[in-house]
Structure 1
Amino acid sequence: IHKVAYEMLTSERSYVAKLHLLDQVFCKQLEEANIPANVVSGIFSHVKPIYQFHHDFLLPQLEDRMKEWNKKMGDLMKNFAPFLKLYSPYIKNFDVSMGLVNSWMGKPKFAAVVEDIQMTEECGNLTLQHHMLEPVQRVPRYELLLRDYLKKLPQDSEDRPDTEKALELISDSARHSNEAMKKIEKFHKLLELHEQLNGEVDVVSPTREFLLEGKITKIAARSGEHQDRYLFLFNDMLLCCSPSLVGNRFRVRTRMDVDGMTVSKGNNPEEDTFVVQARQRALELYARSGDNLGPEITRGSDLLYNVHMNMSCICTEFLKDSIHVSASELGKRAPQWIKDNEVTMCMRCSQAFNALKRRRHHCRACGWVVCSRCSNYKEKLEYSGKTDRVCKHCFFILKRVRPPSVEEESEKSKGVLEVRGSYNKLLYVICNMSGYLHMLDRDRRRWNRHWFALSADGMVLYVYKAHQDVKAEFTIPLPGYSIFEPDPLETTDREHVFTLSQAKQVYMLAADDAEKKNR
């Protein structure tokens, strides 16, 4: 019991030292360097109460308890458990804080202060971002220590009731922390990769997702030499790297955009090779037996599937519910039509409509608004008893035949948000809220009406021309942005105006009424 209790104390000492580093070193030196107060507070404001509690209250009590050890720890931890509420604002604001750090690391003055601290012995050669993860990981750590303490506690110990109650309270807080950590894990993985790649490529982005990694063999185009390489596949890029001689580090040899990428079978007779081709270059690759890429990349067709799964059109959850018709019901009942004025592009290929070359048509099977190229098919529909216009996707379902393969259609791929409808892979973005807002154009002359959708994690704002469009016109990664009330003299022609601002990037938005603005 004493050994576990002492581990609690030593662990707490180490944790308080890291909180001191965040609050008394990073935060203080950035303030002294005259970094804007709203930036520093946006990053560190929720650290101070956590640091003060652990430094002034919990650590001294643990020190006193171990000096006069009475074989009790549960009572102290039970009294401490309610203060875990201090962590809620920190965890909730973590994405915003991290976004500010990443944004401001691009500014020389901010970066110089942070990098100087990171080189100190106190910092342990770890980044500011790594130290900021400590409070998120701390609550689950208390749970593990307390479980270990309870296991070693005698059944008849008078400390058992207090320990069990403390464990119940801390476990409940740990569950909330673990849920937040799941969201942070993706970001943490990008952070690890950024370090493994020695910062050669900035992989940290709120809209980037890591998919898979592993060994691969590259065949040199000129010499035919077989070279060991390591691939990192993201939703928007593929990195081909060579292993470094020092530690688990890699040197980036080739960066390839997923946008427009194709994969085809190679011509090498000795190996089962495949060729990955992008705008930048083409690579001939194969997986040796024992390479740890797994089935996703061992076969070229599976890599292509992974690539194209992430070149999909983006739909938000509000659209998903309104456009879904199950395959079993297709053609058996009349669909609900999407209105013409609710879309500005073909809902299959995402090409923009115009009055001359690309007119609007409705698929009589699913009700989507599509272009003539995507609806140049006819099939008899059970609900009407007539042969009528249907889109390509519905045609193949109704015919019960295999649609063209990705390889057959890949040359028509238009980009990360513009994949041909034949792939039929929609990446649905579950949204927190959505609605129409007016946005001031770049010339600050005209207000344009757009449909905005905020992702459920609050990380990304998707901007559409119309609310049933399958492709976002553009996206705004929100970490690092602040909301301000503009000068009334700048917005005399509009009410209910607010701005999204990050460094030199400013978006001026206007709601229809005060209620929508306050949302």
Structure 2
Amino acid sequence: MDLLTFAKENRERIQAVENSFGPSGTPLSKPGRVLKGQGRLVKQGRRKPQPKVFFLFNDVLVYGSILLNGRWYQKQKIIPLEHMKLEDLEDGVVMKNQWLIRTQRKSFYVSAPSSEEKLAWMEHIEQCCLNLLQGGSCQPVPTLAPTWIPDQLAYKCMRCFKKFTTTKRRHHCRKCGFLVCNSCSKQRVVLGHIHPTKKQRVCSLCHTRNDEDEVHRKRGDSTGKSSSEEDDVAASSDEEDGEQDCSQSSWLDSQDGHYVYPKPMHLRH
């Protein structure tokens, strides 16, 4: 397969992904962007794990909720690979074959249907990240968002230890990811890696640490340890929608210079 043919088919594949998200999706076509593979993974949401469709490009990871299996998706999310770090994890009680995806603005657990697919996903993502670094397209980012603790794992506020009720609701601190009540998370601070100007909800402890860090910075205290070294920053979570079981992933495989890629379901006639 020559380069012109591959470029044409790659454009068609990317266009098919765009179409699958409908008019609410963000355009994905971009010079130099290549679709590497796609598949379904289970993503740990705030309330429970949910199947999601994932598309791996050479520079971004795109995922969304499943409306119609293999055809239509919604709630498109786009994560730049240059701000990504993967952490391998052992099997959990609920999620098997899982690993952690961490970025500046968002961190979350995902799991694959099998250990082989988990390995394939991690290897493909890490190779894309490495290619970006080698190409000088990005710089390592020291501050990464922590994962939010799922709602069902805490029945008490993790700061004041009072029980959550229908009126004393759960909230997430964007700085540590802990589940806290409204009384313990009334403060708002700007967390630059989440948003350059918009203030984010933080718990009382993280707010205190943030104030201490500001004092250290203003005093030019080079020995003061930044709270960002102790607590990574949480990112906003999605509203999760239940869908079907995960299916196998598909990848662009190089075989003697040729590429093999199954046609997306919504392009089949």
TM-score bucket (shorter structure): 0.3 to 0.5
Question: TM-score w.r.t. structure 1 length?
Answer: 0.24
Question: TM-score w.r.t. structure 2 length?
Answer: 0.43
